[in-house]
Structure 1
Amino acid sequence: MTDILQRARRVLDTGQPLPPEELLEILHVPDEQLAELSRLAHEVRLRWCGDLVEVEGIISLKTGGCGEDCSFCSQSGLFKESPVRAVRLNIDEIVEGAKLSHKNGATEYCIVAAVRGPDDRLIDQVGDAIVAIQREVDINISASLGILTPEQAARLSDMGVRRYNHNLETAASHFPRIVSTHAWSERLDTLRLVREQGMEICSGGILGMGESLEQRVEFACQLAGLEPAEVPINFLDPRPGTPLADAEVMSRGDAMRAIAMFRLAMPATILRFAGGRELTLGDDGTEAGLLGGMNAIIAGNYLTTLGRPAETDLDMLDRLQLPLKVL
């Protein structure tokens, strides 16, 4: 075992994260030590989070036509070559999505919209959807509607939104290379509003967007500083028509090192597998990640990319004897 893995074992006993310089060492662990690193991250997860796996379903209330220029996102209306076009769902479709998510073992259902921030009409529609869902399904409601004002955050909290997702996406030092139409600090401000209104913070991002290993650690530490309830981890799935369309897909080894690093940076936080896991980690990648530090998944498809069938993930959890979180 390398020296850094020996030192990292103290996280098991203390529940305290590794400092940035040691987190960076984790990202340099050689391939022959990857299995040992993953076992350690899994042990930390079991001790400080327990063995339950939380499943979430997501639905896009408004897809495409966004006025922001996030380089990874095919929903930007500024990228004319993107195949994604604007679509808006009705309440019945959102409720049916909640029912399907519940059937697939989800305890969390996130309503998402591709916007810089919501207008009154959008928030009204989310409120109507929440009322309709709660009549039909026993499931927690999350939302991801972009940058919020104080008044909007208060309204969403009053509507019953339990957890609000607004990804920081990447390290503050790397963000200007990825987005130019708004600042990283605006995202941070929204997360502070979310906490002030009593909603749980859900914030993560995308790995493999050209960030350095140092920036990967910077990102994990910035997220840890928010003390989020949940951190969704995506791996870049280069989308046609976007500025990152030709980016190289992150290697499986680097992805596994990153998962372990995030766990050692946030021992007691929900780390949720999100988009790109199938492309980056392969057919058995979800299994490897859940035995390497992750403890939650999004079941089914993502916003603009296909995931694995939910039944496949549920069968995998049963085979690994990893129990589902239930309400």
Structure 2
Amino acid sequence: MDWTQLAERVIKGEEITDQEALSILECPDEDLLQLLHGAFQVRKHFYGTKVKLNMIMNAKSGNCSENCGYCSQSSVSDAPIEKYYMLDRESLLKGADQANKLNVGTYCIVASGRGPSDREVDTVVETVKEIKENYNLKVCACLGILKPEQAKRLKDAGVDRYNHNLNTSREHHEAITTSHTFDDRVNTVNMIKEAGISPCSGVIVGMRETKNDVISMARNAKAIGADSIPVNFLHAIDGTPLERTKDLNPRYCLKVLALFRFINPNKEIRISGGREVNLRSLQPLGLYAANSIFVGDYLTTQGAESTADHQMLVDLGFEIDMVQELVEAGLE
């Protein structure tokens, strides 16, 4: 396969075939750098060398009624995690201040549970209004399945983006959770779009799915019109049904990121949860396909040191916001 020619076709607006998609995931390891070069041509065409930074605030942890097999916060998990109800406005504002200091562009307020109560939405609405008054941050909310009136309130408060991941393919969905359907997730994303909020919807790779499932995941993200696509790699947590699952290696993870770039050429592809434990020393190479990362910690697992993430971007020669602050911190 000539990956440069495939990149040129994609840039012109052509869609890759299922066989070409499978060839990406089955690319021989010795051809991996050529594949990433092709993916980078697409990334560079639409995004240059710019990288978007995102930070998560785990606003509510644990006590979730859903039975998602990957999640340490679910009803079927015995993982020893911290559990707490929705943080107060002051705590969420403190997180926004930290995000601002880390040069983050998007601050993500994430809460466990099937969906938010009206009181929880009240807290997010009040907080977002203050964030918008005090910081130049985009705000992404991730609160589960919404009611239409809740989506409208979030939009009116200034929420820029809403995350609701498809997580896996339609065919593999019931192997991961049965407490909600694949269509429940699709319908929530469509509701977000109807409310005028930018949709963010991604996946988790490494949950015993097939390569065809991964291709379906990339195509489904495109079909629902996700503006931002977080690609998570399973961090198998002890106490969850998927504990000790180790289906991934760094080279395959890079092929997955390339696949998502070729199928969703002009969308934000974000390397998300599990990158540290799955990509390991090859993390920098992921940004030749992706154009966005999380900095700091995730929901119940630790991420890399934020200064190390910033240093990685500087070493790559990629562009990030507020470079002057990095100079002052001695990172350039």
TM-score, normalised with respect to structure 2: 0.93
What is the CA–CA distance in structure 2 between the aligned matches of 1:60 and 1:22, rounded to whole Å? Answer: 38
Report the counterpart of residue 214 of structure 2 in structure 1: 216
Aligned counterpart in structure 2 of residue 100 of structure 1, from 95, 98, 101: 98
Moved more, 300-309 or 88-97: 88-97
Q: Structure 2: which 5+ residue stretches go unaligned?
A: 323-332
1:288 matches 2:281: no
CA contact (8 A) 1:12 1:43 kept: no
CA contact (8 A) 2:10 2:262 kept: no
**3-state DSSP class of the match of 1:201?**
strand
Aligned counterpart in structure 1 of residue 302 of structure 2, from 298, 306, 312: 306
What is the CA–CA distance in structure 1 between the aligned matches of 2:11 and 2:200, rounded to whole Å? Answer: 26
**3-state DSSP class of the match of 2:108?**
strand
**Identity score, percent:** 35
CA contact (8 A) 1:68 1:77 kept: yes
1:121 matches 2:97: no
What is the CA–CA distance in structure 2 between the aligned matches of 1:16 and 1:226, rounded to whole Å? Answer: 18
> Structure 1, residues 172-212: CA drift from partner, whole Å, max 9, x if none?
11011000100010000000011111110100010000000
Report the counterpart of residue 42 of structure 1 in structure 2: 40
Q: 1:253 Cα deviation (Å)?
A: 1.4
More relative contact order, 1 or 2 (CA 8 Å, 6+ apart): 1
**3-state DSSP class of the match of 1:206?**
strand
Q: 1:10 Cα deviation (Å)?
A: 3.0
Q: 1:21 Cα deviation (Å)?
A: 2.5
Report the counterpart of residue 31 of structure 2 in structure 1: 33
CA contact (8 A) 1:15 1:48 kept: no
Q: How does 1:240-319 map to 2 (within 5 A)?
A: 240-282=238-280, 284-291=281-288, 293-319=289-315
Residues 318/239 of structure 1: CA separation in 2 closer, same or farther (3 Å cut): same
Residues 241/322 of structure 1: CA separation in 2 closer, same or farther (3 Å cut): same
Q: How does 1:171-186 map to 2 (within 5 A)?
A: 171-186=169-184
TM-score, normalised with respect to structure 1: 0.95
Moved more, 61-70 or 312-321: 312-321
What is the CA–CA distance in structure 2 between the aligned matches of 1:269 and 1:16, rounded to whole Å? Answer: 15
**3-state DSSP class of the match of 2:103?**
coil
Which amino acid is 2:315 matched to? R
What is the CA–CA distance in structure 2 between the aligned matches of 1:124 and 1:166, rounded to whole Å? Answer: 19
Report the counterpart of residue 193 of structure 1 in structure 2: 191
Q: Structure 1: which 5+ residue stretches go unaligned?
A: none
CA contact (8 A) 2:96 2:131 kept: yes
> Structure 1, residues 250-308: CA drift from partner, whole Å, max 9, x if none?
111111111111100011110011110010011x33211012x0100101100111000
Q: 1:13 Cα deviation (Å)?
A: 4.0
What is the CA–CA distance in structure 2 between the aligned matches of 1:26 and 1:321, rounded to whole Å? Answer: 26
CA contact (8 A) 2:46 2:265 kept: yes
CA contact (8 A) 2:132 2:158 kept: no
Aligned counterpart in structure 2 of residue 82 of structure 1, from 79, 82, 99: 79
CA contact (8 A) 2:10 2:16 kept: no
What is the CA–CA distance in structure 1 between the aligned matches of 2:300 and 2:118, rounded to whole Å? Answer: 25
CA contact (8 A) 1:49 1:269 kept: no
What's the C-alpha RMSD, in Å, of the aligned pairs? Answer: 1.4
